């Protein structure tokens, strides 16, 4: 029998490795930025075109590479970060496996310009699909510039799975944030299609956060700091009143590396228990410094999932540290049973002195005695009139024998009697519908009973309404008497720009959409003025998480997001008219059986089903 096991060619092995390292353009950005950081760069420029599909370029002023190092950097498992297996347990750098550049070069056109400070000239290397096209000597600044063009040019199937340019740019921006937030001592510039998106100078951690997420973020941050033998915790948490309905600014960094840890996230959320609503999420920027030997960062190809030796201790310390910061900066409420708030001086009078009143009172004045006083040069006489003859006031009134009134009409309120179980069990049946457990609307039909899920049914009704308005462009806008100013991050403003026309079609109107502070001048009729900020925050979050390029249109996604946020929730009490309207509007829809999330909206319990249950 012939041998069937063979060694794969290098270009095939590189493409397989690229499947682990490079999932999308953002993966390339992550690897190149981390290499620039490891090279000791203090200035990094990121340039992308068409969501990274056409061009990704990273320029740094790091130490650069010699001619030999530049050529070896594109070989598999070639790295300067480690030299033996023991180094894996004491990692101080970001990249260490030596697969990034080899994997990128296998599925793209790569140009590298690099020079070390000790050399007068540098090296220019061109690689296409793992093949070195040219290598020559050039004049170039100190540092390294790597351009990755035409990503997945030789793997059309992988390129077809990429999303739209806006979605890919959003993923690139997320990776850029993860690197920029943990290295405030490095200056970053980010350009997209020729326009500058971020210009981040060197700053402190607090300033870097405000530069990335807007100046309004500074007033929301509360510092967190704790130093122990196990871990050093620093960073910031957002105040409880700024918790969002969606997962917003939540960042964990371990040894200057972004990580994802649901376990540690739960520690932070539990520290906010009682301060935020159960469906709200707090923002945080927490930096952990642990012994490199106590953390394994190589359990996942992207190195965002890590394993700590003693997670339970870390959980307890993180939770107590966040709680301490909330209490130290008076974010958490405090009970003082010995303090009497009635004795506090009002805030407006704390700085004012005591002023005696100018009004004088005559303590000898007797209203029942006739007195004469000289007031302003005039004589005034006060005399109490006699109260005799008061019975004459009741002449002409009909009195009964007992001396009371013959007829008296008293206006009273109607007393409605009910049971204490009405709210918990079901509302009283009136008309043809009633509400069950404030979750279902029950109606009688010829064949039995119709049970409608009020939340899903209303979502279906609103979804078709908003989808029609976006498509036909006939949405009704409710203009605000006073425009409402809302603060958004730069990436959130980009999302609003992207969907501005669709939002306008359903009734939203904006001003100053090119700045962090956006003026809302009009809203749909169903949106209350107090809920505008919440609706837009949820809308942006849903759009970021749910947009899947060609699989669902922008109009459908926005209609889903709006219907989900504005639909009647489980637990809301509906009157009889609303119940009837909900049932009638549902069966006026094109697809009444399913909600926008493809869940059943109603069920029918036939008379036969009831008979079977009672047998």
Task: Indicate which CATH number applies to the domain containing 263.
Answer: 3.30.230.10
- Tokens matching residue 570: 């489980």
More confident site: 352 or 398: 352
Q: How far apart are CA 331 and CA 221, in angstroms?
A: 11
Residue 524, beta-bridge partner list: 477
Q: How far apart are CA 308 and CA 246, in angstroms?
A: 27
Q: Angle at the Cα of 229 (from 249 to 261), degrees rounded to 5?
A: 30
Phi, psi of 324 (to 5 degrees): -65, -40
At 224, is the pLDDT very low, low, confident or very high (cuts 50, 70, 90)?
A: very high
* Number of structural domains found in the chain: 3
Q: Which pLDDT belongs to residue 385?
A: 60
Quick one: 214 and 196 in the same domain? Answer: no
Length of the chain, in residues: 615
At 17, is the pLDDT very low, low, confident or very high (cuts 50, 70, 90)?
A: low
Q: Which pLDDT belongs to residue 407?
A: 54
Q: Which pLDDT belongs to residue 189?
A: 95
Within-domain flag for 532: yes
Q: How far apart are CA 34 and CA 38, in angstroms?
A: 6
Q: How far apart are CA 374 and CA 320, in angstroms?
A: 75
Tokens 């180094």 label which residue? Answer: 87
Full-model pTM: 0.71
Is 70 exceeded by the pLDDT of residue 518? yes
Taking every pair of C-alpha atoms in the chain, what is the biggest distance, in angstroms? Answer: 138
Is 70 exceeded by the pLDDT of residue 154? yes
Quick one: 22 and 140 in the same domain? Answer: yes
Q: Give the pLDDT mean for 379-399.
A: 62
Quick one: 452 and 583 in the same domain? Answer: yes
Quick one: 53 and 107 in the same domain? Answer: yes
Last residue of a domain, one of 146, 166, 200: 200
Is 70 exceeded by the pLDDT of residue 408? no
Give the sheet arrangement for strand 477-487, strand by strand: 477-487, 517-524, 509-511
**Cα radius of gyration (the chain):** 36
Range of the domain at 102: 10-200
Torsion sign across C-alpha atoms 44, 50, 51, 54: negative
Last residue of a domain, one of 283, 305, 328: 328
Is 70 exceeded by the pLDDT of residue 335? no
Is 90 exceeded by the pLDDT of residue 57? yes
Last residue of a domain, one of 328, 347, 378: 328
Within-domain flag for 100: yes
Q: Which pLDDT belongs to residue 146?
A: 94
Tokens 């030997």 label which residue? Answer: 293
Tokens 């910031």 label which residue? Answer: 236
* pLDDT tens-digit map of 462-491: 999 888 888 887 778 888 888 888 888 877
Pairing of strands 250-254, 284-290: parallel
Q: Give the pLDDT mean for 125-141.
A: 91
Closest by CA position to 300, among listed 328, 254, 260, 340: 260
- Tokens matching residue 111: 């140009």
* pLDDT tens-digit map of 563-583: 888 889 888 999 888 999 999
Contact 505, 469 (CB under 8 A): yes
Does residue 218 sit in helix, strand or coil? Answer: helix
* pLDDT tens-digit map of 276-326: 888 788 999 999 999 888 887 766 666 677 888 888 999 999 999 999 998
């Amino acid at each position: 029998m012939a041998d069937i096991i063979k060694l794969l060619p290098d270009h095939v092995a590189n493409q397989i490795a690229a499947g682990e390292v490079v999932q999308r353009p953002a993966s390339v950005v992550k690897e190149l930025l981390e290499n620039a950081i490891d090279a000791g760069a203090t200035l990094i420029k990121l340039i992308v075109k068409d969501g990274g599909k056409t061009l990704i370029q990273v320029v740094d002023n790091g130490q650069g590479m010699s001619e030999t190092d530049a050529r070896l950097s594109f070989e598999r498992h070639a790295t300067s970060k480690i030299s033996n297996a023991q180094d894996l347990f004491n990692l101080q750098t970001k990249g260490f496996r030596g697969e990034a550049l080899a994997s990128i070069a296998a599925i793209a056109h790569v140009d590298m310009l690099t020079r070390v400070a000790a050399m007068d000239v540098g090296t220019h290397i061109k690689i296409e699909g793992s093949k070195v096209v040219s290598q020559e000597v050039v004049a170039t600044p100190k540092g390294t510039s790597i351009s990755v063009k035409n990503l997945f040019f030789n793997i059309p199937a992988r390129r077809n799975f990429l999303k739209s340019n806006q979605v890919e740019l959003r993923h690139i921006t997320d990776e850029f944030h993860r690197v920029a937030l943990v290295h405030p001592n490095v200056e970053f510039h980010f350009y997209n299609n020729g326009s500058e998106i971020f210009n981040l100078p060197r700053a402190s951690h607090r300033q870097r956060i405000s530069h990335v997420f807007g100046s309004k973020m500074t007033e929301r941050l509360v510092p967190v700091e704790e130093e122990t033998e196990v871990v050093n915790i620093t960073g910031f948490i957002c105040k409880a009143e700024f918790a969002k309905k969606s997962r917003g600014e939540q960042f964990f960094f371990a040894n200057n590396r972004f990580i994802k840890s649901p376990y540690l996230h739960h520690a932070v959320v539990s520290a906010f228990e009682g301060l935020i609503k159960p469906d709200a999420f707090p923002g945080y920027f927490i930096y952990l410094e642990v012994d490199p030997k106590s953390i394994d960062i190589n359990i996942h190809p992207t190195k965002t999932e890590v394993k700590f030796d003693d997670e339970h201790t870390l959980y307890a310390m993180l939770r107590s540290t966040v709680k301490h910061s909330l209490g130290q900066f008076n974010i958490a409420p405090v009970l003082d049973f010995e303090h009497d708030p009635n004795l506090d001086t009002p805030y407006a009078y704390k700085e004012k002195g005591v002023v005696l009143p100018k009004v004088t009172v005559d303590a000898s004045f007797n209203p029942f005695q006739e007195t004469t006083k000289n007031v302003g040069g005039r004589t005034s006489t006060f005399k109490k009139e006699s109260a005799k003859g008061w019975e004459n006031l009741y002449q002409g009134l009909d009195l009964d024998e007992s001396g009371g009134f013959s007829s008296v009409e008293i206006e009273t309120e109607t007393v409605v009697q009910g049971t204490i179980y009405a709210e918990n069990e079901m509302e009283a049946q009136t008309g043809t519908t009633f509400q069950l457990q404030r979750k279902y609307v029950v109606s009688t039909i010829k064949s039995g009973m119709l049970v409608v899920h009020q939340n899903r049914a209303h979502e279906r009704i609103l979804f078709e309404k908003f989808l029609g308005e976006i498509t036909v462009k006939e949405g009704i806008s409710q203009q605000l008497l006073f425009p409402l100013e809302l603060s958004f991050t730069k990436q959130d403003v980009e999302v609003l720009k992207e969907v501005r026309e669709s939002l306008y079609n359903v009734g939203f109107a904006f001003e100053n959409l090119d700045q962090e502070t956006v003026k809302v001048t009009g809203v749909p009729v169903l949106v209350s003025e107090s809920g505008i900020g919440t609706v837009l925050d949820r809308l942006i979050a849903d759009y970021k998480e749910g947009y899947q390029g060609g699989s669902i249109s922008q109009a459908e996604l926005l209609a889903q997001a709006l219907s989900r946020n504005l639909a009647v929730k489980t637990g809301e009490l509906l009157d009889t008219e609303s119940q009837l309207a909900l049932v009638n509007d549902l069966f006026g829809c094109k697809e009444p059986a399913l909600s926008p999330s493809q869940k059943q909206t109603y069920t029918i319990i036939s008379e036969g089903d009831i008979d079977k249950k009672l047998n």
